[in-house]
Amino acid sequence: MTGNDAEALAAWVSAYVAETSRDENVERFVAHVNAAILAELPELADDPVVVAELHASTKAQFQVFLSLLERQEQELLLPPQAVDLALLIARRRLELSVLLKIYRVGAGAVWDFFTQVAASVPADGPDRTEVLIYLWDHGGTWINDAVERLIGVFYEEREATLHGALARRSETVHALLRGDPVPLDTASADLGHPLRGPQTAVVLWADEGGSADSLVMLNDLAAGVARAVGARPLTVPAGHREVWVWLSSSRRVTAGELLVALDARKDGAGARAAMGITADGREGFRQSHREAVDAQRWAVATGSSARLTAYADVELACLMGGDGPRVRGLITRELGALAKDDPGLERVRETLTAFLSLGGNVDRTASQLTVHKNTVRYRLAQAEDLIGHPLTERRTEIAVALHCLQRTGTLSPD
């Protein structure tokens, strides 16, 4: 470009800025760009607040852009209206892709607008190609720099919003767990979770060494499982790889259906779960959670590899402490050689378990197991020999030890 060409271009830019800065011309630009954006994002067009914020953002940015257009090097001075739009999108829980699409579509509309401007340059004016290059060099730089800046704004606001909401939710949850006199309707509104109906507490956790995305995976798993069992979930992170969950439903959630829902989720393959017993209302919220936590502690302490540990299945062990070494000690002390990992002893343990649960009735035990009464008597005699004392002694302790053994697996043989 010669000196004369450069002077002609500079003169044209100065005149263009003066003319286009008039309100009616700014509005013409805003209408052109926003029409394209809303056509591509019709979900935003139905929200008058977003439309108003979009109008304010586009107008303010174009006005600042024009005020800087005569400078050879483009400088980004982002007006507060542009920041407000990014904040609104974050606060509406819309995805970053919405913000990026606004600017992507807007960039196309700006290019189209500048193309029309360049085409309208009179024949005795500066070269039209040079005009378009100048306009787009400044406009494209502005848009790229604005997007980069606003991505940071979006994520900072999203993080602050989520953390703020999470802090309020966690505070309410812990108040309920402490038994603080929180009005039930207020707590339900704060949590977005009905507290008057049945509550089933679940603890979800990932094993050590899980990825940094463990909480995301666990929250997604909680949402998917809740849908599968027809419940509404409330989730609160309890660490970097553990989430507390409450399922609100109109009925009791069983361990069987929860396990099916867990197994159906491929994205939660590395997660484990413990659940409490469904109970109603505020007290049910607390009680079921205590049970779920106890079941989790029992599963971890005993080294259980079960995908789901239900408190109803390990209640006796939890009530006696749930400590792994103590449970193993109980099994060894009460069952002796009967606890060995010997396939031949499985039927003996099964028979003894049925016998104790049926009140020591041989006939009912035989009927339940569909074997002869003499077979039951023979296996019970084997059990007595292996345990080392009559079955009439320490029956409760033997029953608890058998229950714990069933949950943890047999002991290694000598």
Which residue, 298, 319, 340, sits at the end of a domain? 319
Domain boundary among 160, 177, 207: 160
Q: Is residue 90 part of a domain?
A: yes
- Alpha-helix residue ranges (DSSP H) falling in 264-394: 281-302, 311-319, 324-335, 343-357, 362-369, 373-387
User: Does residue 175 belong to any structural domain of this protein?
Assistant: no
The per-residue pLDDT for range 325-368, each reduced to its tens digit, is: 667 777 888 888 998 888 889 999 999 999 988 888 999 999 99
CA dist 414 and 409 (Å) reads: 15
- Residue-wise pLDDT tens digits, 149-206: 999 998 888 777 667 777 788 888 989 998 898 898 889 988 989 998 999 999 998 8
Residues 6+ apart with CB under 8 A from 71: none
Say if residue 303 is in the same domain as residue 404: no
Per-position b or e across 260-297, b if 16+ CB within 10 A of its CB: ebbeebeebebbbbbbbbbbeebebbbbbbebbbbbbb
**Distance from chain centroid for Cα 76:** 37
Residue 11 belongs to a domain with what CATH number? 1.10.490
Q: Are residues 340 and 311 part of one domain?
A: no
3-state secondary structure 362-406: HHHHHHHHCCCHHHHHHHHHHHHHHHCCCCCCCHHHHHHHHHHHH
Q: Do residues 130 and 1 lie in contact, with contact meaning Cβ atoms separated by under 8 Å?
A: yes
| CB contact at 8 A, 346 and 352 | no
CA atoms within 13 A on the CB side of 284: 19
Which residues face 233 on adjacent strands?
Answer: 247
Judged against a pLDDT cut of 60, whether residue 209 lies above it is answered with no
Longest dimension (CA), the chain: 116
Same domain, 46 and 9: yes
Look at residue 234 and give its three-state secondary structure. strand
Asked whether residue 173 is assigned to any structural domain, the reply reads no
Residue 179 lies in a domain: no
The answer to whether residues 11 and 155 belong to one domain is yes
Whether residues 15 and 92 fall in one domain? yes
Please report which confidence band the pLDDT of residue 409 belongs to, taking 50, 70 and 90 as the band edges. low
The average confidence (pLDDT) of the chain is 86
CATH number at residue 297: 3.30.70.270
Per the structure, the count of domains in the chain is 3
Q: Are residues 78 and 125 in the same domain?
A: yes
CATH of the domain at 371: 1.10.10.2840
* The pLDDT of residue 392 is above 90: no
Q: Which residues touch 367 (CB under 8 Å, ≥6 apart)?
A: none
Please give the C-alpha separations between residue 25 and each of 39, 64, 96, 106, 165, in angstroms, as whole numbers.
Answer: 21, 14, 31, 17, 43
Q: Is residue 240 part of a domain?
A: yes
Tokens of 20: 């286009």
Structure tokens at 353: 């378990």
Q: Report how many helices (DSSP H) and strands (DSSP E) the chain contains, helices first.
A: 17, 6
What pLDDT digit, counting tens, does each position of 233-284 carry?
999 887 667 889 999 998 899 999 999 999 888 766 778 999 999 999 999 9
- Last residue in a domain, options 108, 136, 160: 160
Please answer whether residues 53 and 88 qualify as being in contact, where contact means their C-beta atoms are separated by less than 8 angstroms.
yes
Is 245 found in the same domain as 108? Answer: no
Facing residues of 245 across strands? 202, 235
C-alpha distances (whole Å) from 78 to each of 34, 143, 150, 171 are: 18, 10, 9, 37
Q: Do 344 and 314 belong together in one domain?
A: no
Closest to 114 (Cα-Cα) out of 145, 84, 89, 136: 136
Which domain covers residue 248, as residue numbers? Answer: 192-319
Predicted pLDDT at 404: 80
Q: Answer yes or no: do 312 and 335 share one domain.
A: no
Instruction: Report yes or no on 93 lying in a domain.
Output: yes
Q: Which two tokens stand for residue 360?
A: 């020591």
| Least confident among 82-96, 232-246, 308-322, 390-404 | 308-322
Judgement on whether residues 343 and 245 belong to the same structural domain of the protein: no
In a domain, 182, yes or no: no
Type of residue found at 308 = L
| 293 and 332, same domain (yes or no) | no
Give the phi and the psi of residue 341 in degrees, each rounded to 5.
-80, 80
The rounded distance, in Å, linking the Cα atoms of 151 and 141 is 16
Whether residue 48 is contained in a domain is answered as yes
CA 29 – CA 59 distance, rounded (Å): 8
Q: Are residues 304 and 332 in the same domain?
A: no
